[in-house]
């Protein structure tokens, strides 16, 4: 297995990525849903970039668009410095970039055995002509994620939630990818199982030198596994930086509210923090506020916030924030 260590080379880069959907409103009327709007970032080789935000903020759409499971409305995706466009580049990209889905209950075909589920990407991409070799690879993958190889002929429903997610991880690893988008991979699991699966992701990253985009609404999960964290709100990136820096010194009022909402064991601090928690619901992505997208919920909003969406500006140490506050 290749020894891929974290370094300063971007493995994945997105530039001004947009994904808009036309939503039918009846009587031949459509409205534009800007799920991902002008998002740029890079992920270094061997890095885990955590992507957080409330549900409906565009995180999953961003993950799918980045992998070209959705065709971008605009913007560029680069892998190993090369733009992913054209059939040949896309074929190469598919071999190196893959996804672990949120729900291990619905993402596995109930009519296939575990061995067939894990072998499917190998079959689709024509990796092995020799059936014995393919079986050997499946056993190796099951072993790698801590599944009993004697259970290869069983069906997915015979496994627990945590084991099913391990099947999903083994399938994602089948083609020996370099980059994995992990879309809320533990949110459907019991809290007691979550830590085991997160540790599994961490271990695999170290052993196989993987690079992750780790999507979650749970800041604690993201902080645990990420080198850097990106915060998304209504399709926009509002803050990005080193994980500890974002968690300990958040700048954007939205990130600060998310962190205040994380349950903390100290009752005095919890009481003091309560007033600063996030107020109201996230607006519909069909009616995004003009100017700063967060202004309808921001306790610091001023008139000028309605004029333009602030650009991400560098606040030092690779910490970027899109807010007029200094």
Interface contacts to ligand SF4, rule CB under 6 A? 252-253, 292, 294-295, 298, 300-301, 305, 310, 323-325
**Residue 219 Cβ vs ligand SF4, minimum distance, rounded to whole Å:** 18
For ligand SF4, give the closer residue by CB, 270 or 307: 307
Query: Which of 205/252 has CB closer to ligand SF4?
Result: 252
Residue number, 105 or 300, with CB nearest to ligand SF4: 300
Q: How far is the CB of 17 from ligand SF4 (least distance, A)?
A: 21
| Minimum CB–partner distance for residue 263 and ligand SF4 (Å) | 24
| 169 versus 292: smaller Cβ distance to ligand SF4 | 292
- Please, which residue, 57 or 188, has the CB nearer to ligand SF4? 57
For ligand SF4, the closer of residues 168 and 310 by Cβ is: 310
3-state secondary structure the chain: CCCCCCCCCEEEEEEEEEEEEEEECCCCCEEEEEEEEEEEEEEECCCEEEEECCCCCCHHHHHHHHCCCCCCCEEEEEECCEECCCHHHHHHHHHHEEEECCCCCCCCCCCCEHHHHHHHHHHHCCCCCCHHHHHHHHHHHHHHCCCCHHHCCCEHHHCCHHHHHHHHHHHHHCCCCCEEEEECCCCCCCHHHHHHHHHHHHHHHHHHCCEEEEECCCHHHHHHHCCEEEEEECCEEEEEEEHHHHHHCCCCHHHHHHHHCCCCCCHHHHHHHHHHCCCCCCCCCCCCCCCCCCCCCCCCCCHHHHCCCCCCEECCCCCEECCCCC
Shortest reach from residue 315's CB to ligand SF4, in Å = 13
CA distance 54 to 125: 35
Smallest distance from ligand SF4 to CB 279, Å: 12
> Of 262 and 325, which CB lies nearer to ligand SF4 in the complex structure?
325
Q: Minimum distance between the CB of residue 309 and ligand SF4, rounded to whole angstroms? A: 8
* Residue 297 Cβ vs ligand SF4, minimum distance, rounded to whole Å: 8
């Amino acid at each position: 297995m290749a020894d891929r260590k974290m370094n300063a080379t971007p493995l994945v880069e997105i530039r001004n990525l947009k994904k808009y959907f036309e939503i039918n409103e009846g009587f031949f009327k459509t409205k534009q849903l800007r799920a991902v709007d002008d998002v740029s970032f890079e992920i270094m080789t061997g890095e885990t970039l955590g992507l957080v935000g409330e549900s409906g903020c565009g995180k999953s759409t961003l993950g799918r668009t980045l992998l070209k499971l959705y065709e971008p409305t605009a913007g560029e995706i680069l892998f190993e410095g090369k733009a992913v466009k054209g059939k040949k580049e896309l074929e190469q990209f598919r071999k190196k970039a893959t996804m672990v889905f949120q729900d291990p209950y619905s993402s596995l075909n109930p009519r296939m055995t575990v061995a067939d589920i894990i072998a499917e990407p190998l079959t689709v991409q024509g990796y092995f002509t020799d059936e014995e070799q393919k079986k050997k690879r499946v056993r190796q993958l099951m072993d790698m994620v801590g599944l009993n190889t004697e259970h290869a002929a069983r069906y997915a429903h015979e496994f627990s939630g945590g084991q099913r997610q391990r099947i999903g991880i083994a399938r994602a690893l089948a083609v020996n990818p370099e980059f994995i988008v992990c879309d809320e991979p533990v949110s459907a699991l019991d809290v007691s199982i979550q830590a085991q699966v997160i540790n599994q992701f961490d271990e695999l990253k170290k052993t196989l030198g993987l690079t992750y985009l780790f999507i979650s609404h749970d800041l604690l999960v993201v902080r645990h596994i990420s080198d850097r964290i990106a915060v998304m709100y209504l399709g926009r990136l509002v803050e990005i930086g080193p994980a500890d820096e974002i968690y300990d010194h958040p700048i954007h009022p939205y990130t600060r509210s998310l962190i205040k909402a994380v349950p903390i064991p100290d009752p005095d601090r919890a009481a003091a923090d309560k007033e600063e928690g996030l107020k109201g619901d996230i607006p519909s992505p069909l009616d995004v506020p003009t100017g700063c997208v967060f202004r309808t919920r921001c306790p610091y909003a001023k008139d000028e916030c309605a004029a333009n969406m602030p650009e991400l500006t560098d606040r030092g140490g690779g910490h970027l924030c899109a807010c007029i506050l200094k």
